[in-house]
Each structure stands twice: as C-alpha cells, then as structure tokens.
Amino acid sequence: MLLVHHARKDSGSSRPGQALRGSSELHGWGDSNLYMRRRGSQLTLSTEHRAAASVDHMPLELVQRDGALALSLLNEPAQPDPSEPSDIQRVQMAMAQLREPVPVQQLRKLCGMRMASVCSALTELKRSGVVVHDPRGYQIKPVSLPLPIDPKGNGNGKRPLSED
C-alpha cells in the first residue's frame, strides 16, 4: 500500500516522520517510509525502515526521460546542513541540560529523534567516554576535579619554618 501525505510548513528541523500533518499515528503506521524535502535548492530523499538502518539526505534531481519528468538520485552525496547539529550533538546538548540520569525513552522524547538514532548516538558517546549509564539511565560523565594543593606548604614544595 502507498500513502502520499504532506508535512507541516515549519518542519525543517524535525525528523521527517515527525513532520507529518494530521495524526501522529501515520508516522508509526508504515514499515518503510520515504520522505522528500527541499533543502535550499536541493531536493533530498530520506528513508526510515522498521527493520533496517535509515538513510538521510540522498540528493535528487528532476530529469527528463523519454518526454516525461522523473526524479533521479545524484551521484554525489548531499552535504549536511552545517546549521543542523548531528544526532550525537543533539543527544549531547539535551543531556547537558539535565541534572540527573535519564532513561533512553525520555531522552528520545527530549531530542525528538527515532529510538535507533538515539541509541546509536548513546553508543558512540559511551564509547568515547562522554556518557555513563547506570540503572537510573544515561548522563554526561561527571567531571572529577583534582585534589587541592596541601595548604600547609608555601607553594615551592617546602614546608614553612617552625616558629620556635
């Protein structure tokens, strides 16, 4: 079955499926979803699949073939919009606002991202030592400060002379 639908006008910063107008259930209804967007003068295609990795921002062009117009994938990949943060940056920015660990489901809602994208970002952030996980959830790794210098010394490594 094929369903053609349109997105909100202000949907540029959200995931494609979250930009569908009308029922929010439409996004979860499909096993495979294709989203076409205009990013400046470039048409792009993004995909979301229930059982496979997503592909974002494949560049498209309108070509004429045998007297008809058709969409065709461009050979060069679309350049990511530098003003849009990556998935890892989005997760890290959301977590930086939190004061305590958060479950992955809550983090997904805060970021407005697919669960697979949040989990992928968390895996990378954990691998690089930026994020820690405990039974309560995920949080930015706390920074440990060095111990203070011994206040009895005078700063040059020698103890002050006794006052006898």
Reduced 3-state DSSP string for the chain: CCCCCCECCCCCCCCHHHHECCCCHHHHHCCEEEEEEEECCEEEEEEEECCCCCEEEEEEEEEEECCEEEEEECCCCCCCCCCCCCHHHHHHHHHHCCCCCECHHHHHHHHCCCHHHHHHHHHHHHHCCCEEEECCEEEECCCCCCCCCCCCCCCCCCCCCCCC
The domains located in the chain, with CATH, are 16-73 (no CATH), 87-140 (1.10.10.10)
Global pTM reads: 0.44
Going from the first residue of the chain to its last (164 residues), give the mean pLDDT of each consecutive group of 10, the final group possibly shorter: 63 59 61 79 82 79 87 69 82 92 93 89 92 93 72 60 56
